[in-house]
Structure 1
Amino acid sequence: MAEFSAPFDGSPIATQSQWSRMARRWGQDGVHAADPDSTMLKVAGNGTGNVTLQTGEAFVNGFYYLNDAVKNIAVTPNAGTVARVDLVVLRASMSAKSVVAAYKTGGSSAPTLAADEDGVYEIPLAQCTVAAGSSVVTAVNVLDRRWFTDSGATPSLPGARRPSVRGRLLTEGGRLYIGDGAGWQWIGSPGVEEGTYTPQWSAGTRNFHWGTDAVNRGIYQVRGRRVDVSIRVLVASNPGGSGYPDPLGVSLPPGYPCTTTERSLFVWNYTSENGEGSAIGVATTLPTTSTTKIARLRYSMTNGASQSAVPNAYSMFVNTPFNIRNGDVIDITGSYWTT
């Protein structure tokens, strides 16, 4: 097949097929409407031999369609003994050189839409059920089946937003908003869909690992300034016994330090495979100590056995309250805010 490009002087868009191929890349087929509550090209039944089509505009296979007055579309009578399911469609035809609204009969289920981009191509507007022996469609027997299309997301400047349109997307500095008709509601910000890293464990200022055969992995996801993180360690060996007298800490995802204005909390779970039981607790960042790691894994204890005993929070060490050894598991999960 020869190469083709257009429109240029001497290489125009000369046929409807060329136009269709080009124009259908500009946007999706569908009814042009601000939101699904719009009546643009909506079909209604009224208990007569016709259904009515409201005014509106659409794209079908790259071709423009306009209906500027309410249109009656005849219902094909059902001569059968069971109910029939039909469609009202917008039909683009290369041979007829037109886009028209048409009534298309089906059977026990709705008919298949024509999908020949170089011949006849259809999009649905409504599904109609015609009772056996009837030629009328009532309002309750019409289901809205319109496909919608729009201009896509609209760029904007902070402080200079256009009026909100329900269902319309707006981008502003990389942030995504959706209109509700009264204002623009934030729904997303740039981030990392999913990332992995190797957490760096520490005890005070000393870095260590859990053995050369340990499984040590971190998974994180970023949404704007919020980072969700999950860390798992399958221990291969205790790193140093009593040689590490400082609390356990573990690094946050690289490049995403925690904010200095607050401490973020995580849940941790420890399971011993060496007969020492298990524990759960809360991990926390200490921005005054470091903005790049979870600095404490804390658990609750009391100073006595009575109900009035004062509780306290203690930090985990490599050997306190458990002697962490081969086969033990540490899980940490939670969220924090970046700077």
Structure 2
Amino acid sequence: MAEFSAPFDGSPIANQSQWSRMARRWGLDGVHAADTDSTVLKVAGNGTGNVVLQPGEAFVNGFYYLNDAVKNIAVTPNAGTVARIDLVVLRASMSAKSVVAAYKTGGTSAPALAADEDGVYEIPLAQCTVAAGSSVVTAVNVADRRWFTSAGTTPGIPGARRPSVRGRLLTEGTRLYVGDGAGWQWIGSPGVEEGTYTPQWSSGSTNFHWGSTSINRGLYQVRGRRVDLSIHVVVASDPGGSGYADPLNVALPPGYPCTTAYRSLFHFNFFSNNGEGSAVGLAMTYPDQSTTKIARLRYSMTNGSGQNAVPNAYAMYANTPFNIRPGDIIDISGSYWTS
């Protein structure tokens, strides 16, 4: 196959096929409308032998289409004994050298769209149901089937936004918004789609591990300044018991320290496979001590058995209240904000 490139001086776009091939790379085929509620190129039935097409513009197979006035399109009568499902389409034809709105008959299901980019190419505008023996389409028997196209994402400057356009995307720096017609609603910020790491455990400033064959896995996802985090541990060896005199700590994902504004909370669950029961509680950051760790795993207890007994919360240690041993499981999950 020969190489081709254009347009250059001495190498212009020489025919409609070359134009179509180039122009359809600029954007998707479809109706040009700022809002899907717009009546641009919308089709309606009125109970006569025609359906009505509203003015509007579109791209079809790389070619521009304009209808600048209300247009009646004749309904093909249904001589059959069952209802027929038809389409109103925009049809681009290389041989006819035109794009026109056309009525296309089907059967018990809608007809297939022509999709020959070098011949006839169609996009849908509406689906019409014609009753058996009828030649009219009523309003309730027309379903909107328009494909839409747009200018893509619109860049903006914070504090100087253009009016909201429903369904349009807006970027401000690295933040993404969608318009609802009244304002711009935030939908996303850059982050990490999914990341894993090996959490470093410690007792105070002393690091330790749960054994070379342990499962010690951290999974996180970042959206803007928020980090969703899960940590799962299956212990393979005793970390040392009484050798660690400070509460258990575990590292946050590298590069994502917690905010210093407040303590972030996580759920945690400890399950003993050594007959010592289980504990459920809250893990938390202590940003005044460290912004890179979950500094406490705390569980609730009371100072008595009565209803009025005062509750209290205690920190988990490597040997208190459980002597953590092989087979024991620790799970932590929650979200926190970065600095």
The Cα shift of 1:85 comes to: 0.4
Instruction: Give the deviation of 1:153 after TM superposition.
Output: 0.6
- Give the C-alpha shift of residue 182 in structure 1: 2.0
Aligned to 2:217: 217
Alignment of 1:111-126 (within 5 A): 111-126=111-126
Give the match's secondary structure for 1:22: helix
Equivalents in 1 of 2:279, 2:96: separation in Å?
Answer: 75
2:255 maps to amino acid = G
In the alignment, which residue of structure 2 is the partner of 1:307? 307
Aligned to 1:338: 338
Whole-angstrom distance in 1 between the partners of 2:87 and 2:79: 17
2:168 counterpart residue number: 168
Amino acid at match of 2:7: P
One-letter code aligned to 1:190? P
User: Which runs of 5 or more structure 1 residues have no equivalent in the other structure?
Assistant: none
Deviations 1:94-142 (A, max 9, x none): 1111111111111101111111111111111000000000000000000
Equivalent-residue separation in structure 2 for 1:302 and 1:330 (angstroms) = 23
User: Counterpart of 2:329?
Assistant: 329
The 2-side partners of 1:275 and 1:117 are apart by 71
Give the corresponding residue for 2:272: 272
* Structure 2: tracts of 5 or more residues without a match: none
* Aligned match of 2:20: 20
CA deviations 1:55-97 (Å, max 9, x no partner) are 0111111111110000000001000000000000111111111
- Give, in whole Å, the separation in 1 of the partners of 2:216 and 2:147: 48
Q: TM-score with structure 2 length normalisation?
A: 0.99
What is the rounded CA distance, in whole Å, between the counterparts of 2:20 and 2:272 in structure 1? 66
- Deviations along 1:229-261, one digit per CA (max 9) or x if unpaired, are 111011101111110111111111110100000
SS in 2 for 1:73: strand
Task: State the partner residue of 2:196.
Answer: 196
1:91 matched to which residue of 2? Answer: 91
Distance 1:70 1:242 in 2: 86
Q: Which amino acid aligns with 2:236?
A: A
Alignment-derived partner of residue 292 in structure 1: 292
- 3-state SS in 1 of match to 2:193: strand
* CA offsets 1:186-220 (integer angstroms, 9 cap, x no match): 11111111111111111100111100000111111
Cα deviation code 1:263-291 (max 9, x no counterpart): 00000111111112222110000000100
Percent identity over paired residues = 84
C-alpha displacement of 1:327: 1.2
SS of the aligned residue for 1:192 comes to coil
Residue 257 (structure 1) aligns with: 257
Which has the larger displacement, 10-19 or 280-289?
10-19
Runs of 4+ displaced beyond 6 Å: none
2:180 counterpart residue number: 180
User: What is residue 3 of structure 2 aligned with on the other side?
Assistant: 3
1: distance between equivalents of 2:195 and 2:307? 45
Normalized against structure 1, the TM-score is what?
A: 0.99
Please tell me the residue identity of whatever aligns with 2:170: L
> May I ask how many residue pairs the two structures share in their alignment?
339
State the match for 2:101 in structure 1: 101
Matched residue type, 1:293: K
Query: 1:76 — aligned with what?
Result: 76
